[in-house]
Amino acid sequence: MSQRDTLVHLFAGGCGGTVGAILTCPLEVVKTRLQSSSVTLYVSEVQLNTMAGASVNRVVSPGPLHCLKVILEKEGPRSLFRGLGPNLVGVAPSRAIYFAAYSNCKEKLNGIFDPDSTQVHMISAAMAGIYCTFLPRKE
């Protein structure tokens, strides 16, 4: 594989990772809000019910669409992309390296196994995943 091909695969992987992170960011924000603050959304409702003398019933946590609606009404659409910057710093390089490692490994394994066979794809994917997992990181 030429250096140009490797650079193309790095760029394509980085772009793919970036697009994927941008498209899934609103889902991640809603998921995080549902996990972390579903109880606080209904504290005032429970307090009002108990002050009025009503018994406290089990409060059902809001669903994803309700949470999305509340975020859009109270914080605006830009808030659906909170945390995107730090996410891109990790995702784009990781996907770029994975994609290039997969392509390089696949090219080498095509000479050992039947070209473009299931074994080639499976081993290439596993090796690229291992490479990205154990890639040295500065901490």
Structural domain includes residue 11: yes
Please report the pLDDT score of residue 60 as a whole number: 60
User: Mean of the pLDDT values across residues 1-29?
Assistant: 92
What domain range is 24 assigned to? 2-48+62-114
What one-letter code names the amino acid at 137?
R
Please report the pLDDT score of residue 35 as a whole number: 86
With 60 as the cut, is the pLDDT of residue 132 above it?
yes
User: Mean of the pLDDT values across residues 75-81?
Assistant: 95
pLDDT digits (tens, 9 = 90+) for 48-57: 555 555 555 5
pLDDT band at residue 135 using 50, 70 and 90 as cut-offs: confident
Please tell me the pTM assigned to this model: 0.71
With 80 as the cut, is the pLDDT of residue 17 above it?
yes
CB–CB of 49/56 below 8 Å? Answer: yes
Structural domains in the chain (count)? 1
Please report the pLDDT score of residue 138 as a whole number: 52
How far is residue 19's CA from residue 10's CA, in Å, rounded to a whole number? 14
Structural domain includes residue 121: no
Please report the pLDDT score of residue 44 as a whole number: 46
Structural domain includes residue 57: no
CB–CB of 10/100 below 8 Å? Answer: yes
Structural domain includes residue 133: no
Structural domain includes residue 124: no
Got the DSSP string for the chain? --HHHHHHHHHHHHHHHHHHHHHHHHHHHHHHHHHHHTTGGGHHHHHHHHHTTPPPPPPPPP-HHHHHHHHHHHH-GGGGGTTHHHHHHHHHHHHHHHHHHHHHHHHHHHTTSSTT-HHHHHHHHHHHHHHHHS-----
Please report the pLDDT score of residue 49 as a whole number: 53
Please report the pLDDT score of residue 115 as a whole number: 92
1 versus 46: the higher-pLDDT residue is: 1
Rounded to the nearest integer, the mean pLDDT of the chain is: 84
CA separation, residue 33 to residues 60, 85, 91 (Å): 15, 18, 21
Structural domain includes residue 105: yes
CB–CB of 120/30 below 8 Å? Answer: no
